[in-house]
Amino acid sequence: MTKTDYQSAGVDIAAGEAAVKAIKQMVRTTYNANVLSELGSFGGLYQVDLTRWKKPVLVSSTDGVGTKLRLAIEAGIYHTVGQDLVNHCVNDILVQGALPQFFLDYIGVGKLQSAHIEKIISGFVTACRENGCVLIGGEMAEMPGIYQKSDFDLAGTIVGMVEKDKLITGQQIKAGDVLIGIPSNGLHTNGYSLARKILTDNRLHPDSYIGELDTSVAEAFLTVHLSYLPMILPLLEQNLIHGMAHITGGGIPGNLSRIIPEGLTAVVDTSSWEIPPLFQWLQELGQVAADEMFRVFNQGIGMIVSVAPGNAAMALSTLQGIRIGVIEPSSPTRPHKVILR
């Protein structure tokens, strides 16, 4: 009779332990005095610094990288998607005024390959350090039968804090507020299923050269999702922001509408910025309708900030942003929360 063990079933416990050992010191570079546990504990321990926070509210979010992972796998590029995930999560809690405190990751793989895991974790570490966030724990799961050998999936959970009296909910938005768009640097982490279909339909691969953009597919589509924390922090410290929207899946209409109070409409002038060449190229290559492009992709605007008109000039300068619209009262003839012109 053939001997059966866990490794013959596709799970290598020793490889998993070796992977944790290999990344331990790298992960510790994100730690600060608030961390009370070591990597490998059953739970991550983090104490709140009550000399800094008076009435802190915890703000949490969980997300993934979506099918951008498939492009990364095909390109053999593993260090950028970890940064994508952290930065995406940072932006999601930033819109409510929260500063990131700690991050936890989940990596599911078909076959644990230590070199790939180290590169993925290095991306988490890089982004956590850049955002002042602790990588406090995570999970690596080898799951043959769920994932193919070379496949992996990522998910992350972030926890941030904001003082209760500084929460940004969108309820502060008023008629007359100016909408400022902060540019994206690419697709970020959304719309990749459509983008990949367009690429596949046109027989383009990660190493294919795009003459119109003077770059390869991998370079154009694996650009790291921006974190907007550094540029937005000065406005947060001055309490100048009435509302923020991170432009992810659903584009500007789907995300900006989430923060607009009843009785108001955000009117966005889509001619106020130039759609980046990457999106124009995708639209033409895939013969995608303009409204579908705005529904799926960020179209060059990664974050939208609403401020009082008197603070608009300073905010535009600080954010290096673009004035893209205004908040107006809604009406029976204009009932939608977001209108694209």
Residues of the chain with pLDDT under 50: none
Instruction: Report pLDDT digits (tens) over 131-188.
Output: 999 999 999 888 888 888 888 999 999 999 999 999 999 999 999 999 999 999 999 9
What confidence score (pLDDT) does residue 166 get? 96
Q: Are 30 and 134 in contact (CB under 8 A)?
A: yes
Beta-bridged to residue 90, according to DSSP, are none
CATH number for region 7-166: 3.30.1330.10
What confidence score (pLDDT) does residue 145 get? 85
Q: Are 110 and 152 in contact (CB under 8 A)?
A: yes
Q: CA-to-CA distance for 228 and 86, rounded, in angstroms?
A: 12
Domain boundaries, the chain: 7-166, 178-340
What confidence score (pLDDT) does residue 2 get? 58
Class of domain 178-340: alpha beta
Instruction: Report pLDDT digits (tens) over 69-79.
Output: 999 999 999 99
pTM of the model as a whole: 0.92
Q: CA-to-CA distance for 324 and 304, rounded, in angstroms?
A: 9
Following DSSP, what letter does each residue of 257-302 receive, concatenated? TTTPPTTEEEEE-TTSSPPPHHHHHHHHHHT--HHHHHHHS-TTEE
How far lies 181's CA from each of 78, 145, 316, in Å? Answer: 30, 44, 9
What confidence score (pLDDT) does residue 24 get? 84
